[in-house]
């Protein structure tokens, strides 16, 4: 057994019994490499990564490979979800050296941490176009032994490239205006797949931030048929409908897989990530609020149900992911043969169920293949509604079949659970759950959101109050104290600010606004680039890496900078604190122009530019006038912030009378009202 058995990361613990002599990331590993005068082998992955498992099985669990690796290198295993800072630095190096990136990430570097050879997955034995891992290891050793100066020079050059690339220059331009957002929306519409939804071809990722930006554009013309031709809304709902119909959506248990390997959303990579659920729920929630379509609300209900049922710690935090594999096979838990459906339902009802979800004798999925199977396949079907896109609402018979199939599936071996709790992803889910609870009036969801907030405050902070990145404890024990470690990053703080702000808006409790402000203050104090613009990934109190990265580009999750800009703008509107707005404007000035040119990479940032350009609408309702509060919460008002219930330090509360609603926008205020109908008119643009 190596040194990973006591780590909080399930991914690291998966490698604890490898014959490879793994070290966790830390000074001790690099000191050992210097003592032995050997390179460092860095392997970065995550627990739900299919190809990480493949490389582990082929190489890291192999005694012959391990013997070579242990002789030639000091080997470090990193969970990218716990250490996004390490991942960001060396992914930049991998992309610079190879033109591509991904996981598993394999990096060879000097004992000083300077990378000189990078790659991703290597098979154990060479294949056409792919060197074998053992051959790579021996070649690296030869270069280190016989061409050391060349290797060190390469590492130094690459390290300097990283320092320059990851240090964004100070913003020299003002914050761009709505024209950038319009260009971004036009770019998204141009890239949209009108036939099947989504953006681009296979593999196809959900990209909820892009859908959100389209919905924002559509919301400006809600109820105004002459103001917009409906293109943005059509693109957004086409994507949402195809995803909800495809195999990427779990039609029995709710929730979304990470992505689809084909262009029509049929065949998923079956892992389920918490952040995907958090971000996609928002898109379906806002589509429902905008259109009133029950099919969007159904996805919201079922996905939140999935998260609360399968990804929730009993004490309230949320686990990271479920694996793609079970019983050693990708997708085994989710696919069905006709005989399995008949066994669960009986022959008569099975006919209706198989017709509804497209189950056939030949099937549509073969494990291990990146495409649907054709006729003569394995006879296993990924449940889907692609033959009836937009029609996922189930008649009573089908709903009954769904529940019975779900129970039958529950007898199978479940995919592995990554039970670590990550602060950033929990912040995203907290914001979503609080907003969904407020919009729907679902008290159980609101209670779950409050419990999640309590979990974060109790278990995700050190004794001195510093937010931490990752927690792991007994996943079944509500009293588990567990272990939290690794100082939190900028992305964690940004997500927390937004999450706690949303929780304050949902509950009317001032204490959550106090936590949001305190977290924002730390974000500015520890992560802000005082000599440039934006936020560094790591805090001023963190260990020094070969470069100090900045998370700038939106990906599967919003970048730390775009989410910080968004959260700080909203917090500034609620508190009147100019420092929050100033910090947000620095980010928007630095990155805003890129949003119009590269909307798929900066969609969340573009939403921040839009909020800044159009200005926030501040709604204040002192006390607990629930009719008035509900009037605001039930609508999707993309640029609105809501202060109600308990007052907290903010100019918004000055001179306000309990039982009245106050709406202000663009430095002007409407007359106060006690009438929900009048408030509705004020929120939708009518004058009173």
Backbone angles phi, psi at 548, to 5 degrees: -100, 105
CB 653 within 8 A of CB 664: no
| 308 shares its domain with 453 | yes
For residue 562, give the nearest of 517, 606, 522 by alpha carbon. 606
CB 506 within 8 A of CB 512: no
Domain boundary among 166, 193, 228: 166
Over residues 219-241, the pLDDT tens digits come to: 987 544 344 567 999 999 999 99
Predicted local confidence at residue 368, as pLDDT: 56
Over residues 28-59, the pLDDT tens digits come to: 999 999 999 999 999 999 887 878 888 999 99
In a domain, 14, yes or no: yes
Range in 120-129, 413-422, 441-450 with the lowest mean pLDDT: 120-129
Domain boundary among 414, 435, 465: 414
Q: What is the spatial distance between Cα 112 and Cα 119, in angstroms, rounded to a whole number? A: 19
What mean pLDDT value characterizes the chain?
A: 91
98 against 529, higher pLDDT = 529
Q: What is the spatial distance between Cα 566 and Cα 553, in angstroms, rounded to a whole number? A: 14
| 435 shares its domain with 561 | yes
| 258 shares its domain with 387 | no
| 575 shares its domain with 467 | yes
Whole-number Cα distances in Å, 200 to 190, 206, 385, 600: 10, 11, 21, 10
Range in 20-24, 153-157, 283-287 with the lowest mean pLDDT: 153-157
| 529 shares its domain with 553 | yes
> Please, is 126 exposed, middle or buried when counting C-beta atoms within 10 Å of its C-beta (0-12, 13-18, 19+)?
middle
Predicted local confidence at residue 371, as pLDDT: 47
β-partners of residue 117 are 108
Mean pLDDT of 529-542: 90
Domain boundary among 118, 146, 166: 166
| 123 shares its domain with 76 | yes
| 388 shares its domain with 514 | no
Predicted local confidence at residue 169, as pLDDT: 52
Cis upstream peptide for 203 (omega within 30°): yes
In a domain, 544, yes or no: yes
Mean pLDDT of 650-667: 88
In a domain, 535, yes or no: yes
Confidence bin at 687 (pLDDT 50/70/90): very low
Predicted local confidence at residue 688, as pLDDT: 38
| 610 shares its domain with 522 | yes
Predicted local confidence at residue 165, as pLDDT: 62
Confidence bin at 403 (pLDDT 50/70/90): very high
Over residues 629-648, the pLDDT tens digits come to: 999 999 999 999 999 999 99
Is the model's pLDDT at 373 over the cut of 80?
no
Mean pLDDT of 290-313: 98
Task: Collapse the DSSP code of 38 into the 3-class scheme (helix H, G, I; strand E, B; otherwise coil) and give the result.
Answer: coil
Q: What is the CA 206 to chain-centroid distance, rounded? A: 11
In a domain, 60, yes or no: yes
Confidence bin at 378 (pLDDT 50/70/90): low
Predicted local confidence at residue 614, as pLDDT: 92
Predicted local confidence at residue 102, as pLDDT: 86
| 369 shares its domain with 426 | no
What domain count does the chain have?
4
Predicted local confidence at residue 547, as pLDDT: 81
Q: What is the spatial distance between Cα 548 and Cα 83, in angstroms, rounded to a whole number? A: 13
Cis upstream peptide for 104 (omega within 30°): yes
| 41 shares its domain with 128 | yes
Q: Which residues form the domain of 109?
A: 10-166
Q: What is the spatial distance between Cα 84 and Cα 91, in angstroms, rounded to a whole number? A: 10
In a domain, 525, yes or no: yes
Predicted local confidence at residue 376, as pLDDT: 38
Cα torsion angle, 487, 490, 496, 497, sign: positive
**Buried b / exposed e along 592-628 (16+ C-beta atoms within 10 A):** bbbbbebbbbbbbbbbbbbbbbbebbbbbbbbebeeb
Over residues 538-589, the pLDDT tens digits come to: 999 988 888 888 888 898 999 999 999 999 999 999 999 999 999 999 999 9
Strand order in the sheet with 662-665: 640-645, 617-622, 662-665, 668-669
Predicted local confidence at residue 222, as pLDDT: 59
In a domain, 223, yes or no: yes
In a domain, 89, yes or no: yes
CATH code, domain carrying 235? 1.50.10.10
Mean pLDDT of 1-9: 86
Mean pLDDT of 261-271: 94
Is the model's pLDDT at 615 over the cut of 80?
yes
| 429 shares its domain with 556 | yes
Tokens of 62: 């192999």
Confidence bin at 325 (pLDDT 50/70/90): confident
In a domain, 1, yes or no: no
* % residues pLDDT > 90 (the chain): 76
Over residues 18-32, the pLDDT tens digits come to: 999 999 999 999 999
CATH code, domain carrying 158? 3.40.30.10
Predicted local confidence at residue 227, as pLDDT: 44
CB 28 within 8 A of CB 75: no
| 512 shares its domain with 445 | yes
Give me the residue label for tokens 């959900």: 206
Mean pLDDT of 182-205: 94
């Amino acid at each position: 057994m190596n040194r990973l058995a006591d780590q909080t990361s399930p991914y690291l613990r998966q490698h604890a019994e490898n014959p490879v002599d793994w070290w966790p990331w830390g000074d001790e590993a690099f000191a050992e490499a210097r003592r032995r005068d050997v390179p460092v082998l860095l392997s970065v992955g995550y627990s739900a990564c299919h190809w990480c498992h493949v490389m582990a099985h082929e190489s890291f669990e192999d005694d012959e490979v391990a013997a070579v690796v242990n002789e030639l290198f000091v080997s470090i295993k990193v969970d990218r979800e716990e250490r996004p800072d390490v991942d960001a630095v060396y992914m930049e190096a991998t992309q610079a050296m190879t033109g591509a990136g991904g996981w598993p990430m394999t990096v060879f570097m000097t004992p000083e941490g300077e990378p000189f050879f990078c790659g991703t997955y290597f098979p154990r034995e060479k294949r056409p176009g792919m060197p074998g891992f053992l051959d790579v290891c021996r070649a690296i050793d030869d270069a280190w032994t016989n061409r050391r100066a060349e290797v060190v020079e390469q590492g130094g050059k690459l390290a300097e490239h990283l320092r320059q690339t990851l240090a964004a220059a100070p913003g020299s331009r003002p914050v761009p205006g709505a024209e950038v957002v319009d260009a971004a929306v036009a770019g998204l519409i141009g890239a949209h797949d009108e036939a099947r939804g989504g953006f681009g071809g296979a593999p196809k990722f959900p990209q909820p931030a892009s859908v959100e930006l389209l919905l924002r554009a559509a919301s400006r013309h809600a109820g105004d048929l002459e103001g917009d031709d409906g293109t943005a809304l059509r693109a957004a709902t086409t994507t949402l409908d195809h995803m909800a119909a495809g195999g990427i959506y779990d039609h029995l248990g709710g929730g979304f897989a990470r992505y689809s390997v084909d262009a029509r959303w049929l065949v998923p990579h079956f892992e389920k990530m918490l952040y995907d659920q958090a971000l996609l729920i928002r898109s379906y929630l806002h589509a429902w609020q905008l259109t009133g379509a029950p099919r969007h609300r159904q996805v919201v209900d079922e996905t939140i149900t999935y998260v609360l049922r399968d990804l929730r710690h009993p004490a309230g935090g949320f686990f990271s992911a479920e694996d793609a594999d079970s019983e050693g096979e990708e997708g085994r838990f989710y696919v069905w043969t006709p005989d399995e459906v008949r066994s669960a339902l009986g022959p008569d009802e099975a006919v209706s169920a198989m017709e509804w979800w497209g189950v056939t004798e030949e099937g549509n999925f073969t494990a291990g293949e990146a495409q649907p199977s054709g006729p003569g396949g394995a006879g296993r079907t990924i449940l889907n509604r692609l033959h009836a896109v937009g029609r996922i609402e189930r008649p009573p018979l089908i709903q009954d079949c769904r529940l019975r199939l779900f129970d039958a599936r529950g007898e199978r071996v479940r995919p592995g659970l990554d039970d670590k709790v990550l602060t950033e992803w929990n912040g995203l889910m907290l914001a979503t759950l609080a907003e969904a609870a407020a919009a729907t009036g679902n008290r159980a969801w609101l209670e779950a959101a409050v419990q999640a907030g309590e979990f974060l405050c109790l278990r995700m902070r050190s004794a001195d109050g510093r937010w931490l990145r990752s927690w792991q404890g007994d996943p079944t024990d509500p009293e588990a104290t567990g272990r939290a470690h690794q100082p939190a990053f900028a992305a964690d703080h940004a997500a927390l600010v937004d999450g706690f702000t949303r929780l304050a808006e949902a509950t009317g409790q001032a204490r959550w606004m106090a936590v949001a402000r305190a977290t924002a203050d730390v974000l500015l104090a520890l992560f802000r680039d005082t000599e440039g613009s934006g936020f560094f990934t790591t805090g001023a109190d963190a260990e020094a890496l070969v470069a100090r990265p900045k998370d700038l580009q939106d990906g599967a999750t919003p970048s730390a900078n775009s989410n910080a800009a968004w959260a700080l703008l909203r917090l500034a509107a609620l508190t009147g604190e100019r420092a929050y707005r100033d910090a947000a404007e620095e980010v928007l000035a630095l990155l805003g122009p890129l949003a119009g040119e590269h909307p798929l990479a900066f969609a969340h940032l573009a939403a921040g530019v839009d909020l800044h350009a159009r200005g926030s609408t501040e709604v204040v309702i002192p006390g607990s006038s629930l009719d008035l509060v509900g009037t605001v919460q039930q609508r999707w008002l993309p640029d609105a912030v809501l202060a109600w219930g308990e007052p907290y330090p903010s100019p918004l509360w000055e001179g306000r009378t309990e039982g009245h609603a106050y709406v202000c926008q663009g430095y002007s205020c409407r007359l106060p009202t006690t009438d929900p109908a009048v408030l509705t008119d004020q929120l939708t643009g009518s004058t009173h």
